[in-house]
Amino acid sequence: MNTLDHRSLNPIATFGLLVGGSFIIASLLFILSGRDVVMNPRLNNVVSCLSIIGCFMGVKKFRDDRLAGSITYGRAFSAGLKIVLLATVLYSIYTFALYSARPELMEEYKNIMTVMIKEIYGEISLGIPAEILNETITPLVVAFSEFFRDVLLGMFFLLVIAAILRRNLPTPARPNPSDLNA
């Protein structure tokens, strides 16, 4: 059975909050250093690395502290997914607040999206005027896209992390039948 210590916060919640907080701190450090945060591949790589490290450490701590050192692949994956979900919800709320508070970031995001669409589809008319595209891209859409991207990347990394961290219970030694007759 699980050994629960009710005096401490659940490692899953703790690491979910820590990972989400580290995403926010990384973004703030990019802003303070004068670097772009709008679709910045470096920031996305930092967030991915923080996600991998946080999930690995969180699932390992959960396994060692709460499950006496044994965890199945499915349970490790689900614990890591909970960490990723909590972290990405926190980061998405921050992203929504950031893009709502700073309209220049929203305009930069819309400009980049327009350029990307023109590069992908060329001058072919998509049937969607640029004005409609600009109206549909809102801070909520940006936050949702961050959430979706981070959850999918986290799930991809968790496929490997759960395999690395799974550990079955040791099987108890069976008595030798010849020892019972003696």
Vertex 136: Cα angle to 48 and 36 (nearest 5)? 40
Predicted local distance difference test score (pLDDT) of residue 173: 59
Predicted local distance difference test score (pLDDT) of residue 67: 85
The boundaries of the domain holding residue 50 are 11-101+141-168
pLDDT 10s digits, 103-140: 999 999 988 888 887 787 776 655 666 667 778 889 99
Lowest mean pLDDT among 25-29, 81-85, 150-154, 166-170: 166-170
Position 117 in a domain: no
Position 112 in a domain: no
Report the alpha-carbon distance of residue 130 to residue 121 in Å, rounded.
Answer: 13
Orientation angle between helical segments 139-165 and 103-121, nearest 10 degrees: 80
Count Cβ atoms within 10 A of the Cβ of residue 30 and give its class: 0-12 exposed, 13-18 middle, 19 or more buried.
Answer: middle
pLDDT 10s digits, 59-94: 999 998 888 888 999 999 999 999 999 999 999 999
Position 41 in a domain: yes
Position 6 in a domain: no
Structure tokens at 170: 């040791």
Position 55 in a domain: yes
Count Cβ atoms within 10 A of the Cβ of residue 115 and give its class: 0-12 exposed, 13-18 middle, 19 or more buried.
Answer: exposed
Can you give the three-state secondary structure of the chain, one letter per residue?
Answer: CCCCCCCCCCHHHHHHHHHHHHHHHHHHHHHHCCCCCCCCHHHHHHHHHHHHHHHHHHHHHHHHHHCCCCECHHHHHHHHHHHHHHHHHHHHHHHHHHHHHCHHHHHHHHHHHHHHHHHHHCCCCCCCCHHHHHHHCCHHHHHHHHHHHHHHHHHHHHHHHHHHHCECCCCCCCCCHHHHHC
- Tally the domains of the chain: 1
Q: Is the pTM of this model over 0.95?
A: no
Position 116 in a domain: no
